Amino acid sequence: MLSIGLTASLLAIANTANACTNFLVTKGATVDGSTFVTYAADSHVLYGELYYRAAAKFPKGTEFEVIDWDSGRPLGKIKQAAETYSVVGNMNEFQLVIGETTYGGVDELQKCEGIIDYGSLIYITLQRAKNAREAIKVMAELVAEYGYASEGESFSIADPEEVWIMEMIGKGPKMDNKKWNNGAVWVARRIPDGYVCAHANQARITTFPMEKASKNSISSKNLKKIFDKNIDVVYAEDVVDFARMKGLYNGTDENFSFSDTYNPVTFSGARACEARVYAFFNRVAKGMEKYEQYAMGYDLKNRMPLWIKPDQPLDVHDMMMLMRDHYEGTPMDMTKDVGAGPFKCPYRWRPMSFKVDGVEYVHERATSTQQTGFSFVAQCRGKYPRKVGGVLWFGVDDTYSTVYCPMFCGITEIPECFREGNGNMLEYSETAAFWLFNQVSNFAYLRYEDMIKDIQRVQTELEMNFIDRVRDVSEEFANIDDNLDNRLNSFSGEMANLMFTRWKELSQKLLVKYIDGNIKKGTDFNFETTGTRPGQAAFPEQPKYPEWWYRYIIENHGSTIKVPAQK
């Protein structure tokens, strides 16, 4: 679906339920030895809420009904685990975190059949695994036993010690005498310590060491060996043979490339997907300019590496800021072309591709995008007890104007503003963070260059306060056993309430300051008054459009609006 041409792939990326972005950072690449996974769940139909599943124990013979994450339709029933772990969003109580991006893959492998879709695979695994290696084993076993119901997917899998990327694709429609078409083919690689990786709707694993050639790799037939810490590559035993059987590959095992076989890079795969990886790499390491033409879709043979070493160690605030990107400083900068309008708005409404006079064009697809349901920066900190060490920095709506609020992985209650069922895509809620943040961001799109500065001041104020508070309470909570869950609930709830109240105040002040296209004088909402009547403001500024915008209007409409010369 995503590898057959410009228009089809761009439209698929625009409309798929999860056209997402993930950044992966190992502990050796961070300031404090944390590992990070970031995730933006981007969809025009995905509501921003924080999922929670409590830990539980089940009697033997209990079944679990799998509900497709995208469509909500039942897929079938599987055996329930005897014990499940609590899960907050995409992180469980053991600091295991899993994210994803969808790449679709070749046409031959669409319309997969099975019980396990990619979303259920994530959340079932988080309930059953304690670390990244165990998660890979659980995921491989689930799709092998129950069949894989989705298309091509890249997964980010991390714990406090390791970070892995796993890429999977289903085997297409059911074949004769095959119950579930034997699940999926996949490969997982551990990111070397000290390095960072990323994926964004394009398969990225190319060639990889195989068991015969490397002692550090195993196939799924020896899956128990994954717990050997020397193993850093794991793959489905038929990942190459299946490709040969389907006529997708006819080379040697050593030259086999997962991405080039199951999701070859096209113009759209580079420009709409790999470009986001490029933007991340370009901001953390020098010398990435050599991949600029690849990211723009013009030199597809010059592929970026799967991982790179950043120039400087990264911290949690760096990760928040890296999730905020419109290709600034590159030829794809979305603030620079006429599509940004007079106020440099770096957003383009869908569809992403369009034709004029028979010629096809594209809008850019950046990491920061208006249709984000929720996003997070997951921080796994091995130096703290597990329920304290994991922090899911959670935000809703556009990553550029969201606030990442700290949710400890050990909480057992979700704050009201993030709670499931508090509003939805068709039901507004006064108490839902999703709708409040959308109010602010959608208003800002009208006069973006000015309003975003006011938004960023409050955003920075809140996030830096949260980072300081988390650092302080983590030391306190690390030495508490009694009533810890309630303390974690209280803290994360307090931070969410603070964020919601401050953002509500911001939304009101933005309306007052920018109403009707004017800008009231004053810095940081300290407005001047005339003194003639209570609440009457000094005459607001009526800032002009930029000169280039006036010229653009004249070029397109000048003859009908030109004032005649006085005689």
* 89 within some domain: no
In the predicted model, what is the mean pLDDT of residues 62-90?
96
In the predicted model, what is the mean pLDDT of residues 485-504?
98
* 526 within some domain: yes
pLDDT at 29: 98
9 has a pLDDT exceeding 50: no
Of the given ranges (6-20, 149-163, 429-443, 480-494), which has the lowest mean pLDDT? 6-20
- Reading the block at residue 358, the tokens are 């028979």
Name the one residue in this structure whose structure tokens are 């901001």.
283
- Reading the block at residue 338, the tokens are 């006429």
10 has a pLDDT exceeding 70: no
Nearest alpha-carbon partner for 125 in 103, 101, 156: 156
* 563 within some domain: yes
**Which pLDDT band holds residue 8 (cuts at 50, 70, 90)?**
very low
435 has a pLDDT exceeding 50: yes
pLDDT at 2: 28
- Reading the block at residue 376, the tokens are 């997070």
Of the given ranges (56-65, 80-89, 108-117, 305-314), which has the lowest mean pLDDT? 108-117
- Reading the block at residue 391, the tokens are 């922090």
Decide which of 302 and 112 is more confident: 302
For strands 74-79 and 63-67, give the pairing: antiparallel
7 has a pLDDT exceeding 50: no
* 80 within some domain: no
Is residue 33 within 8 Å of residue 159, measured between CB atoms?
no
Is residue 417 within 8 Å of residue 432, measured between CB atoms?
yes
- Listed in sequence order, the DSSP H helices in 231-272 are 239-245, 258-262, 267-268
Of the given ranges (84-98, 388-402, 521-535), which has the lowest mean pLDDT? 521-535
* 558 within some domain: yes
12 has a pLDDT exceeding 60: no
In the predicted model, what is the mean pLDDT of residues 245-257?
96
85 has a pLDDT exceeding 80: yes
Nearest alpha-carbon partner for 324 in 32, 40, 44, 25: 40
pLDDT at 176: 64
* 280 within some domain: no
* 56 within some domain: no
pLDDT at 51: 97
16 has a pLDDT exceeding 50: no
Determine what percent of the chain is predicted with pLDDT higher than 70: 92
Residue 550 is part of which domain span?
518-567
- Residue 206 burial by Cβ neighbours in a 10 Å radius (0-12, 13-18, 19+): middle
Chain mean pLDDT for the chain: 93
Distances (CA, A) of 281 to 73, 291, 409: 38, 10, 28
507 has a pLDDT exceeding 90: yes
* Domain tally, the chain: 1
499 has a pLDDT exceeding 70: yes
* 298 within some domain: no
pLDDT at 82: 97
Model pTM?
0.94
- Listed in sequence order, the DSSP H helices in 410-447 are 433-444
